[in-house]
Structure 1
Amino acid sequence: MRAAATVEAPRRARIDLRDPAWLLAPVLAFFAFFYVVPLADLLHLSVAGDAGLSYYARVFEVPLYRESLVRTFGIAAAVAALCALFGYPTALLIHRARGTWKLVLTAAVVLPYFISVLIRTYSWMVLLGRNGPINKLLLSLGVVDAPLPLIFNRASVLISIGAVLLPLMVLTVGGSLARIDPLVQRAATASGAGPLAVFWRVLFPKTLPGLLAGLLLVFISALGFFITPSLLGGPADQMFAMHITQQADFLASGGFLQSLAAVLLAVTLLVVAVAARFLGLEFIWGGQRAGRPLRDAAPGRLAPWRRAVLGRAADFVGWPLLRALGAVPAWLGALVSGALAAVAFLALLLPIAIAALISFSDSAYMRFPPPAYSLRWYEKFLADPAWMASLGTSVAVGLLAAALSVVLGTAAAFGLVRSSLRGKSAWMTFLVSPLIVPGVVLGLSLYSLFLRADLAGSIFGLAAAHAVGGIPLVLVIVAASLQAVDTRQEQAAAVHGASPLRVFRFVTLPAIRPGVLAASFFAFLHSFDDLVLSMFLSGARMTTLPLRLWGNVNYKLDPVPAVVATFEVGLIVAGLFLARSAWAARQPH
């Protein structure tokens, strides 16, 4: 019996090793060192020493920080509302488009989303400036007699942050629209319902989870903004994350700086926890909540009363409202929806077009329209050793970060999708959680670790930090690609004697190659455009391209950032084209 048990133990070990769940081990080890330990260290430093919890008390007692936190909530909520107002009609327009037109509209949303936040903010500085195109248009039309103060105020902050995060809302709502069975809408129309009634009764209820997820993602993302309010806001528009970056250079701030970051992290996680109560944590990565909605899971004693109230409300309010909506002409609803979508596309694309034109300006500073056109700023950018060194550094860091993200993220995706691991949703939530952690919090938490490990100012250290945010992108994209692969092909190869490695190499990998290529490209862009982590971790020895752009936008305001913006747009267009070509090549003809 003992011999049999001895023989059986290695056999069980071999069977366990064949379960792809072990592929999660590398990414979990990576996250433990570069994500979990730094955040735990940040929380420890915020309460270490004799100060205890006094730093937290100071955050809420000092009016500067307390008011800034409240202001941040207000700005984030306003931005989320703006994105919902303009993003929903935009997603609806894309959903109803067909053929090439749908592809063009989708690209118009996706393209700005992957352009650096700093570059898009720079474009808004040009657009809203005293001598910008909007003021010049209003003056030429005689609407105003003097340029309007469109910059350094709350409106410019809301508009610019809203334009940056608008694609997030459009893509999230678009995912909900894509999952609706078109037969449901046709049945409602055939029953005599008008277009607005169909929207209110069919489309809106089915897309409400996606809309709420978009609102929450935009709100959470806006909580950690500091680049846009720093450049476009006034003294009364300071957001909470700005205090962390402003004090990061002062070591004397000690644990108080960590307490500021901990408060921002706690607020973000609190919002996520409340959202998860109704939507599930799947809203973070665009997944669907399994099982019945929460409100139907446990009706309780109040459910009959609630149903009765809702039924009466439908009889006395709902149905008359639906009949009134049915009487509204369809062209009026289409006109309003189309106008909102047109404004959204204008906000997404106009700053990019303005920046492209300024890049060819002959003027010594930002000026629109350019007095003359030339290539002087392209020549300056390409001939300046400092700019070229920064570009080379960003490319090197981006390539290494993309490699780390793809290797670890693909392995994790395979371990989650193909294994029998329990609690996959919880593991997925943990692995994509860096997407909701504000960049200033992650950067500050890594700063102490990098100092102790002598990683500050190193290419590998910065690439590893960027990979913390790149891995979730790769994981989501590759996991979706894996779920679309027919597992019977993998099983057939395994039955014929192929090892798991050969099955992956010759069957699975070719099937998911378009997703891996797209994930690699997005992971590279995530690193290439990063400014926040670079500010904390680059040190004095290394200057990335976003860091040099940050200094230029703050102190020079010449057209060189417009040159970089034009180069980046070309890079993204080429990357999207290659990704689409690779995907099309895999589709059956």
Structure 2
Amino acid sequence: MTDVPADALTAPRRSLRQRLSNPALLLLPAFAFLAFIYVQPLIDLMMTSVEGEPWYADLARVFSTPLYFDSLIRTMQIALTVALLCALFGYPAALLIQRTRGVTQMLVATAIILPYFIAILIRTYAWMVLLGRNGPINKVAVWLGIFDEPLGLLFNRGAVLLGMTAVLLPIMVLSIYSSLTRVDPALKRAAMANGAGPLAAFWRVLLPLTLPGVGAGFLLVFVQALGFFITPTLLGGPGDMMFAMHITQQADSVTGEGFLQALAVVLLVITLVTVAIAGRLLGFEFIWGGTRASPAPKPAKAVERTPRRGLSATVADTVGWPLLRMVSGLQARWGAWTVRLMGGFIVAMLVIPIVVVMIISFSKASYLTFPPPAYSLRWYEKFFSDSNWMDAFWNSLGIACLSAGISVSLGATAAMGIVRSTIKYKSTVMLLLVSPMIVPPVVLGLSLYSLFLKFELVGTYLGLAAAHSIGGIPIVVVIVAAALQGVDRQLEQGAAVHGASPLTVFRTVTLPAIAPGLGAAVFFAFLHSFDELVLTLFLSSPRMKTLPLMLWGDINYQLNPVLAVVSTLEVLLVVGGIILARPVLTRRAGAN
């Protein structure tokens, strides 16, 4: 009988152990969760939209009905305009952050980025206060003699564009600033050393190198604006209805299935097509702030051909240089002051509405007016003594804590699986995990409603927390993955070589290193759930009120300073969280 080596007997067991210790397995919980509560409902939504006879009947009705087709065209026009406005004003704001130093840079960056973390509902409410008949803009204009009497600045297209631009502008600034930080300063100095003026150096060096950042920000803003619902509802008029608003309005009135789902599918397909085109041009990494990997250099050929001129170079030569010659006599300080003035205007536009709301929260008046005739804490007393508001607050707090727990448990393990595994197509896996960031919330809310009815999750803590965690998981994955990439792998390998198990290595080496990032992920997942309104509108019940739902109801029916109190408390919550998360944010900015 042939002797079998002992190593051969233990090989299968060791192979199985190695397979079970593969970090890629950490992706399974997040994928299973998202497949059940995110992918499956969207597939069911699409299937329901084509169940008519013929299958395209409901979809064709969307495009053949003028009300919905015109709304679709209007939505794309508004989204495009907002993206252009954000690019126009976002670039000088990003330059202002880059060109300042020390405490000034920190203050400017905080003033621009901080509003991004405040709920859209609160920022929109701030503009309602600012543009109201008793608001500061009308009062200042009348005092200066520009108007004879207060004008109706609300409920028109201009208010919608202003509000949406102010809400989405930080996304553009962050995208452009991230691109600016990756530009080597020596390139601009070399251009100026060779005789190029400041404007020429900007046009031929800085702007072309940062165009990918501008493009990524433009597309992110455009995609986000397509599904906007809150801001146009509160600031616009009957002629400013966007497509997502029709979905929310029809959800309560349409009893037959098919057409309502077709409305949602049309919005979803347009969004996905836009993202697909953007991914083809820029790489899908633009969604989560990453950069496309540089292609491998091609081997040199025996005969070099003259490189073809790109479109950007042709435009720069035919359009840019004549313009630069016209303004070549301007000194460099003109450009510097342009950046300061426009950047300062952007800072004021983002910060002043929030400051005005915080001041109004201390008003003694029983109606919204600025400046307040007298100051008092009466509205704070009313908020804390009102059982409806406090019940809504505790509901939001409990749901947000549960949602943050789900998001961090699944998102952190998924981030570990992506960063520490050797699987192929990591960008594709990352795209699947962060894809909820690009799906319009109204589409996601409508798709979840049928699933939640089936499992009796409508209006429950667990149901709302699970729904909110669909958007929380991408936030956690992006933050924790960035933190993991900053951990020295040699420390982990050294601990493993000395006999530490994978769990011990994680507990003693990896976890302490990513603790700041994990803390930031917990806070932002909590804040995302605490502020969530659109999904809650679809999945809540009359007995389950959250703070955003209470705000939404009061803003639509009555405007009083209690809303300013809630807004002020949330701003303080965000500021406190940003201070706690500052170490990881600073580390990530330095890594970029």
Same fold by TM-score greater than 0.5: yes
CA distance in 2, matches of 1:390, 1:519: 24
Distance between the aligned counterparts of 1:167 and 1:293, measured in 2?
34
- CA shift, 1:185, in A, is 2.1
Q: Which residue of 1 aligns with 2:418?
A: 416
Which of residues 107, 111, 115 is equivalent to 2:114?
111
- 1:175/1:210 contact within 8 Å kept: yes
- SS of equivalent residue, structure 1 residue 159: helix
Partner of 2:567: 565
CA distance in 2, matches of 1:455, 1:313: 56
- Cα–Cα, structure 1 residues 157 and 308, in superposed 2: closer, same or farther, change >3 Å? closer
Q: 1:104 to 1:489 in 2, by over 3 A?
A: same
User: Aligned pair in 2 of structure 1 residues 587, 439: CA closer, same or farther (>3 Å)?
Assistant: closer
Residues 66, 304 of structure 1: alpha-carbon distance in 2 compared, 3 angstrom cutoff: farther
Cα pair 2:134 2:368 within 8 Å, conserved:
no
> 1:19 Cα deviation (Å)?
2.0
1:300 aligns with none
Name the stretch that deviates more: 308-317 or 557-566: 308-317
Aligned to 2:436, what secondary structure does the other structure show? helix
**Corresponding position of 1:523:** 525
**1:471 aligned residue (470, 473, 497):** 473
One-letter code aligned to 2:160: V
Please point out which of 113, 125, 128 is paired with 1:125.
Answer: 128
1:458-502 CA distance string (max 9 Å, x none): 111111111100110111111111111111111111111111111
User: What does the per-residue CA deviation read over 1:362-397, in whole Å, with 9 as the maximum and x for residues that have no partner?
Assistant: 121211121211111100000001100000000101
- What letter corresponds to residue 578 of structure 1 in structure 2? L
**C-alpha distance in 2 between matches for 1:212 and 1:55:** 34
Q: 1:163 aligns to what? A: 166
* Letter of the 2:577 counterpart: G
Equivalent of residue 542 in structure 1, options 544, 568, 575: 544
Q: Any idea what SS the aligned residue of 1:327 has?
A: coil
* Alpha carbons of structure 1 residues 323 and 20: separation in structure 2 relative to 1, 3 Å: same
1:315, CA displacement in angstroms?
Answer: 6.2
Aligned amino acid, residue 236 of structure 2? G
Q: Provide structure 2 residue ranges, at least 5 long, that are not aligned to the other structure.
A: 300-304
Q: Does 1:83 align with 2:86?
A: yes
In the alignment, is residue 335 of structure 1 matched against residue 337 of structure 2? yes
Q: What CA distance in whole angstroms lies between the structure 2 residues aligned with 1:451 and 1:487?
A: 46
RMSD: 2.4
Per-residue deviation, residues 175-226 of structure 1 (Å, max 9, x unmatched): 1111112222222222232211121111111110000000000000000111
Equivalent residue runs for 1:347-358 within 5 Å: 347-358=349-360
Distance in 2 of aligned mates of 1:212 and 1:176: 10
Who is 1:144 aligned against? 147
SS in 1 for 2:289: coil
Q: Distance in 2 between matches of 1:391 and 1:315?
A: 59
Instruction: Confirm or deny: 8 A CA contact 1:111 1:569 kept in the other structure.
Output: no
Q: Which runs of 5+ in 1 are unaligned?
A: 298-302
Alignment-derived partner of residue 35 in structure 1 = 38
Code of the residue aligned with 1:198 in structure 2: it is A
- 1:536 and 1:512 mapped to 2: Cα distance? 36
**How far apart, CA to CA, are the structure 1 residues paired with 2:589 and 2:212?**
31
Q: In 2 relative to 1, CA 39–190 (structure 1 residues): closer, same or farther, beyond 3 Å?
A: same
Distance 2:310 2:371 in 1: 63
Pick from 8, 11, 27 the counterpart of residue 24 of structure 1: 27
Q: Please report how far the alpha carbon of residue 326 of structure 1 lies from its aligned counterpart in structure 2 after TM superposition.
A: 4.1
Quickly say closer, same or farther: Cα 1:10–1:512, change in 2 above 3 A.
same
Give the drift of 1:508: 0.8
Tell me if structure 2 keeps the 8 A contact 1:86–1:343. Answer: no
What is the match of residue 248 of structure 1?
A: 251
- Superimposed CA distance per residue, residues 28-82 of structure 1 (whole angstroms, 9 cap, x where no aligned partner): 0010111110100111111125462211011000000000000000000010011
For residues 147-171 of structure 1, the C-alpha deviation after alignment (integer angstroms, 9 at most, x for no partner) is 2221110000000010000100011
Contact kept in structure 2, 1:281 and 1:429, CA below 8 Å: yes
**Correspondence for 1:433:** 435
Note the alpha carbon deviations across 1:424-445, whole angstroms, 9 max, x for none: 0000011000000000000000
CA 1:155/1:309 → structure 2, altered by over 3 Å: closer, same or farther? closer
Partner of 1:100: 103
Superposition deviation, residue 321 in structure 1: 4.5
Q: Identity of paired residues, percent?
A: 58
Q: Check conservation: 2:52, 2:58, Cα contact below 8 A.
A: no
Q: 1:251 deviation in Å?
A: 4.8
Which residue does the alignment assign to 1:494?
496
**Partner in structure 2 of residue 287 of structure 1:** 290
2:428 corresponds to which letter in structure 1? A
Judge which range, 180-189 or 276-285, deviates more: 180-189
Task: Kindly provide the amino acid, as one letter, of the partner of residue 466 in structure 2.
Answer: A
Aligned to 1:503: 505
Cα deviation for residue 318 of structure 1 reads: 5.1
Q: Distance in 1 between matches of 2:310 and 2:174?
A: 36
Q: Which letter maps to 2:384?
A: L
Distance apart, 1:255 and its partner CA: 1.4
The number of aligned residues is: 582
Aligned residue in 2 for 1:554:
556
Contact 2:441–2:535 under 8 Å retained in 1: yes
Report the AA paired with residue 576 of structure 1: I
Distance in 2 (CA, whole Å) between partners of 1:149 and 1:583 is 41
* Residue aligned with 2:31, SS: helix
Which residue of structure 1 aligns with residue 457 of structure 2? Answer: 455
Alignment-mate amino acid for residue 546 of structure 2: T
Q: 2:14 aligns with which of 11, 26, 34?
A: 11
